[in-house]
Amino acid sequence: MAITEGAKKAHRASLRKRVFNIRRWRTLKSEIKGTQDLIATGDLKAAAEKLPAAYKAIDKAEKRGLIKKRNASRKKSQLARAIGRKEEK
């Protein structure tokens, strides 16, 4: 447990930040999963419309430091490629 006042204050701040990080993480996962589900069902028009929302969630997670830069670009690339592969078939 934190002993000094500064450590106690840092702990309180980390607990407050945790709430925002969890919310951002849930948004990230739900947007990616929603887009992937639309791709899997074959509804490519809806998936393409949902893609900017997924990009936004990924970019915000990257900005906040939840995921790294290359991880974010890889996730965006995989979503776009998945839509492209389905369109070719």
Would you mind telling me the total number of residues written for the chain in this entry?
89
Domain ranges of the chain: 5-88
Per-residue pLDDT of the chain (89 residues; tens, 9 = 90+): 778 999 999 999 999 999 999 999 999 999 999 999 999 999 999 999 999 999 999 999 999 999 999 999 999 999 999 999 988 77
User: What pLDDT score was predicted for residue 74?
Assistant: 98
Name the pTM for this structure: 0.86
Residue with tokens 């000094």: 4
Where does the chain have alpha helices with state H?
5-41, 44-64, 69-88
User: What pLDDT score was predicted for residue 3?
Assistant: 87
Topology adopted by domain 5-88: Methane Monooxygenase Hydroxylase; Chain G, domain 1 (1.20.58)
